[in-house]
Amino acid sequence: MGLNNEKEVDPTVKSIVEMFPEDFLRNTARETGVVKRERKIDPVILFWVLTLGFGVRLLSTIRGLKRRYEEKTKTTLSISSFYDRFTPNMAVFLRTCVLHAIEFQALQPSRVLNEKLKRFKDLVIQDSTIIRLHESLAKIWPAARAKRVAAGVKVSCVVSAVANNPKSVRIYPERTSEAKILRLGPWLKDLILLIDLGYFKYRFFDIIDHYGGYFVSRLKGNANPLIVGVNRKWRGNSVDVVGKKLHDVLPLLKREVLDAEVEVRFKRRKYKGKQSTVTRRFRLVCVFNSESGKYLFNQHPGMYLIR
């Protein structure tokens, strides 16, 4: 029994099913006291209904989960008998399953970076997303943008391409800015960090370089660095871009790729009352969009700042 008898199963669901074999779920349910004797409630099907069907609208969703369970087991339950399953023992059961999933992922074989990336230890991605919570949690986790009472959290995740799983997951109030979420340190040495525009700050890039790390970031629309060199030359009467600002030359270019060295100036954080201005060089790659006839900011393909 279970939920793997659907006509079409999402690949993500298949990988989750592999983590939780039926014997593990039944044994864990007994060990945590979720079930003592299996009668009307099958712990395996209950687990999959909760895992794949749970939402943030708690009360109405429990009724929906009950209907989903009845569909899968071809049984009829009283609402009270289903509600009675949501106990502290159920919380322990689900927590045990989460820990099992983490251990399962950690034991999976690591990927190997291809020939072009073999000089790096890993390629990691930093990103965050908003998860809506039940409105009863609004005082604890208030939503940032909502016309009515709402709750939400911001989940920040660093994912490793080599390990093929998260390196870290942290939860913040929804109103926390990405700039306060990004944690930079010695762990970046010999790694490539892929970051989104929410983390775009020259000061961050400077710190990543300080720790011996590398990064790839999309370029902000208002960024206008000075071009000091080109890594790829074009034949014919190509426009000379060296010594010019990016926004001054983009309207004149039609080359498929602009691969250049750029220079930026910015201020570091104040230290002992003093704030220094520094100049750094990074690599800029701009990809021409044939459909729009221009180089696009904030889109893919677009413009990327690289170190």
| 54-72 residue pLDDT tens | 544 444 567 778 888 888 8
Do 89 and 32 share a structural domain? yes
- Nearest C-alpha neighbor of 23 from the set 9, 2, 6: 2
pLDDT of residue 9: 58
In a domain, 5, yes or no: no
- Nearest C-alpha neighbor of 241 from the set 196, 295, 290, 190: 295
In a domain, 82, yes or no: yes
Do 296 and 266 share a structural domain? yes
Stated pTM of the model: 0.61
Residues counted in the chain: 307
Percentage of residues of the chain with pLDDT beyond 90: 5
Report the distance separating Cα 130 and Cα 124, nearest Å.
Answer: 20
| Domain edge (last residue) among 189, 210, 231 | 210
In a domain, 6, yes or no: no
Do 237 and 271 share a structural domain? yes
In a domain, 74, yes or no: yes
Q: Would you say 44 and 26 are in contact if contact means Cβ atoms under 8 Å apart?
A: yes
Q: Would you say 182 and 161 are in contact if contact means Cβ atoms under 8 Å apart?
A: no
Report the distance separating Cα 193 and Cα 169, nearest Å.
Answer: 16
Sign of CA dihedral 97, 101, 103, 107: positive
| Domain edge (last residue) among 69, 88, 106 | 106
In a domain, 3, yes or no: no
Domain residues for 186? 115-210
Q: What is the DSSP string of 145-186?
A: S-SSS-EEEEEEEEEETTTTEEEEEEEEETT--HHHH---SG
Do 302 and 280 share a structural domain? yes
Return all residues near 234 (Cβ < 8 A) that are at least 6 apart: 255
pLDDT of residue 262: 92
Do 235 and 181 share a structural domain? no
Do 240 and 195 share a structural domain? no
Q: For the CA atoms of 57, 59, 64, 69, what is the dihedral angle to 10 degrees? A: 120
| 160-219 residue pLDDT tens | 887 777 778 888 888 888 878 888 888 889 999 988 888 888 888 999 998 999 999 888
pLDDT of residue 221: 82
pLDDT of residue 6: 47
Do 243 and 162 share a structural domain? no
Q: Would you say 157 and 166 are in contact if contact means Cβ atoms under 8 Å apart?
A: yes
pLDDT of residue 56: 43
pLDDT of residue 131: 86
Angle at 283 between CA 201 and CA 289, to 5 degrees: 95
In a domain, 2, yes or no: no
Do 251 and 292 share a structural domain? yes
Q: How many domains does the chain have?
A: 3
pLDDT of residue 4: 47
- Nearest C-alpha neighbor of 10 from the set 68, 51, 38: 51
In a domain, 275, yes or no: yes
In a domain, 4, yes or no: no
Do 101 and 119 share a structural domain? no
Do 96 and 55 share a structural domain? yes
Do 302 and 265 share a structural domain? yes
Residues of the chain with pLDDT below 50 are: 1-6, 55-59
Do 146 and 94 share a structural domain? no
Q: Would you say 40 and 81 are in contact if contact means Cβ atoms under 8 Å apart?
A: yes
Identity of the amino acid at 143: A
Return all residues near 151 (Cβ < 8 A) that are at least 6 apart: 132, 133, 134, 135, 136, 137, 138, 140, 141, 142, 143
| Domain edge (last residue) among 210, 236, 253 | 210
